[in-house]
C-alpha cells in the first residue's frame, strides 16, 4: 500500500516544471514555435512528439560557486516543461529545431496535402 | 483548430504561479513587484561574493548594459523578436519584447571594482566580490 503511494508521487514529480514562455506563428506552409529556455545547455534539451503531443523539456543547469546560498529565485525549479497538442495536418516527420542562446526555434511544416490550395468560387 | 490546450499535467506549476501572483498582489515591491519581470533573476550569496543570474534568452550580450552605482546593480537592455512575416498569424504571444531594466540592491560589503559578467545559454551571470575585510576570518585562540 505505502509502496503504491510512493510510486504515484514519483510519477507525478517529473511532470512539474516551469512553463517556458512561447510564441507560435503560423504561415501558409507551417508553424514556427519559439520558446524561452534560458539556462538549458544544448545536451539537456528534450523534444518529443508522441501521437499528437509535442513535449518540450529542458533541465536548467548553470555554474554556481560551491556553497552558494540562494537568497531569491524566480527560476525556482530546475526544469522547464510544456506540452502542445498538434493538429494532424502538421508533418511531424519534418520538424526542424534550432537552439541558440536559450531560445528554441521549432519549425513544423504542414504536410504536402495540407498546403493551401485556392478554391475557385463559381457563380452560376 | 485549437492550438491552445489546457495542460492538466502541469497543474502544480500553474498553482505555484497563481500563488506567487497572489503573494505579489498583497506585498508588492516599491519598484513594482519582484517577480514576473524580464529578465527573471536569481540571487545567491557566498562568503566571498554575491552572485546574480539574469535569465535573458535570445539577447545579444553586447546589447546588455550592466552597471553598479551607489550599491545598486542595474541590468538593462533590449530584446527584439523576429518580425512577423506577412500573412502570418500569431497564435500565442507570451515572449517578452522591448526594453528591459531590472534593479538589485546590493549588500554594503561588495567591491564594485571586482565584478565579472558572463553570458551563456541565455543566462547572464554576474559575480561581485565582497571586500576582503568582509570575508569572515577565523581567529585562533592561543
- Taking only the tens place, the pLDDT of each residue in A75-103 is 988 999 999 999 889 998 899 999 999 99
Burial level of B32, CB count in 10 A (0-12/13-18/19+)? exposed
Q: What is the pLDDT of residues A25-40, one digit of tens each?
A: 999 999 999 999 999 9
Measured between beta carbons, the chain B residues lying within 8 angstroms of A52 are none
Name the residue range of residue A40's domain.
17-61+73-114
Tell me the C-alpha to C-alpha distance, in Å, between residue B135 and each of A8, A51, B50, B139.
Answer: 46, 56, 12, 12
Q: Give yes or no for A6 touching B (CB within 8 A).
A: no
Interface contact B53-A24, CB threshold 8 A? no
Which residues in chain B show pLDDT less than 70?
1-36, 134-135
- Please measure the distance between the N-terminal and C-terminal CA atoms of chain B and give it in whole angstroms: 79
Does B91 contact A25 at a Cβ distance shorter than 8 Å?
A: yes
Instruction: List pLDDT tens digits, range A2-17.
Output: 343 333 333 445 567 8
Long-range contacts of B87-90 (CB under 8 A, 24+ apart): B87/A27, B87/A28, B88/A25, B88/A26, B88/A27, B89/A25, B89/A26, B89/A27, B90/A23, B90/A24, B90/A25
Q: What is the pLDDT of residue B24?
A: 57
Q: What is the pLDDT of residue B3?
A: 33
Cβ neighbours for B39, distance < 8 A, ≥ 6 positions apart:
A38, B54, B55, B56, B59, B75, B100, B102, B124
- How far, in Å, are A34, A74, A99, B60, B113 from residue A106 at the CA level? 6, 26, 9, 20, 42
Chain A neighbours among B 51-90 (CB < 8 Å)?
Answer: 51, 53, 55-59, 81-82, 84-85, 87-90
d(CA B64, CA B77): 5
Q: What pLDDT score does A118 carry?
A: 76
- Over the stretch B110-128, which tens digit does the pLDDT of each residue have? 999 999 999 999 999 999 9
The answer to whether residue A84 is domain-embedded is: yes
**pLDDT tens digits along A38-47:** 999 999 999 9
Give the Cα-Cα-Cα angle B10, B1, A111 (nearest 5 degrees): 100
Give me the mean pLDDT over the A100-121 stretch.
Answer: 86
* CB-defined contacts A:B, below 8 A: 155
State residue B37's pLDDT score: 83
CATH for B37-134 is 2.60.40.790
Q: Note the pLDDT of residue B7.
A: 42
Is B121:A41 a contact under the CB 8 Å cutoff? yes
DSSP letter at B140?
-
CATH number at residue A107: 2.60.40.790
Predicted pLDDT at A123? 84
Residue A3 lies in a domain: no
Dist CA A89 CA A87 (whole Å): 6
Q: Which of B70, B78, B65 is nearest to B126 (CA)?
A: B65
pLDDT band, residue A22 (cuts 50/70/90): very high
pLDDT tens string A60-81: 998 899 999 998 888 988 999 9
Q: Report the residue of chain B nearest A36, measured CA to CA.
A: B57
The three-state secondary structure class of A38 is coil
Predicted ipTM of the assembly: 0.79
Instruction: Report if residue A45 sits inside a domain.
Output: yes
* Out of A39, A64, A69, closest to residue B55 by CB: A39
Nearest residue to A64 (alpha-carbon basis) of B14, B136, B108, B46 = B46
Q: Does any CB of chain A come closer than 8 Å to the CB of residue B107?
A: no
Task: Test A68 with B93 for CB contact under 8 angstroms.
Answer: no
Burial (Cβ within 10 Å: 0-12, 13-18, ≥19) of residue B56: buried
Number of domains in chain A: 1
Rounded CA-CA distance A108/A91 in Å is: 6
Tell me whether residues A26 and B91 touch, CB distance under 8 A: yes
Amino acid at each position: 500500500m505505502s509502496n503504491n503511494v510512493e510510486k504515484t508521487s514519483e510519477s507525478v514529480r517529473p511532470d512539474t516544471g516551469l512553463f517556458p514562455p512561447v510564441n507560435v506563428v503560423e504561415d501558409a506552409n507551417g508553424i514556427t514555435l519559439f520558446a524561452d529556455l534560458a539556462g538549458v545547455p544544448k545536451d539537456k534539451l528534450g523534444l518529443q512528439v508522441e501521437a499528437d503531443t509535442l513535449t518540450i523539456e529542458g533541465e536548467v543547469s548553470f555554474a554556481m560557486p560551491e556553497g552558494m546560498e540562494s537568497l531569491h529565485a524566480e527560476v525556482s525549479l530546475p526544469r522547464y516543461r510544456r506540452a502542445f497538442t498538434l493538429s494532424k495536418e502538421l508533418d511531424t516527420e519534418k520538424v526542424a529545431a534550432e537552439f541558440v542562446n536559450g531560445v528554441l526555434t521549432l519549425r513544423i511544416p504542414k504536410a504536402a496535402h495540407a498546403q493551401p490550395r485556392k478554391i475557385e468560387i463559381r457563380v452560376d | 483548430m485549437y492550438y491552445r490546450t489546457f495542460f492538466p499535467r502541469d497543474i502544480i506549476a500553474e498553482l505555484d504561479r497563481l500563488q506567487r501572483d497572489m503573494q505579489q498582489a498583497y506585498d508588492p515591491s516599491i519598484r513594482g513587484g519582484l517577480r514576473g519581470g524580464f529578465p527573471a533573476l536569481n540571487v545567491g550569496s557566498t562568503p566571498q561574493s554575491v552572485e546574480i543570474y539574469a535569465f535573458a534568452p535570445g539577447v545579444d550580450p553586447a546589447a546588455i548594459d550592466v552597471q553598479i552605482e551607489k550599491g545598486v546593480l542595474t541590468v538593462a537592455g533590449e530584446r527584439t523578436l523576429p518580425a512577423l512575416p506577412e500573412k502570418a498569424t500569431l497564435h500565442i504571444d507570451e515572449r517578452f519584447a522591448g526594453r528591459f531594466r531590472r534593479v538589485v540592491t546590493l549588500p554594503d560589503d561588495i567591491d564594485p571594482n571586482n565584478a565579472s559578467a558572463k553570458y551563456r545559454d541565455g543566462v547572464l551571470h554576474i559575480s561581485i566580490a565582497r571586500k576582503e575585510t568582509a570575508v569572515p576570518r577565523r581567529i585562533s585562540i592561543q
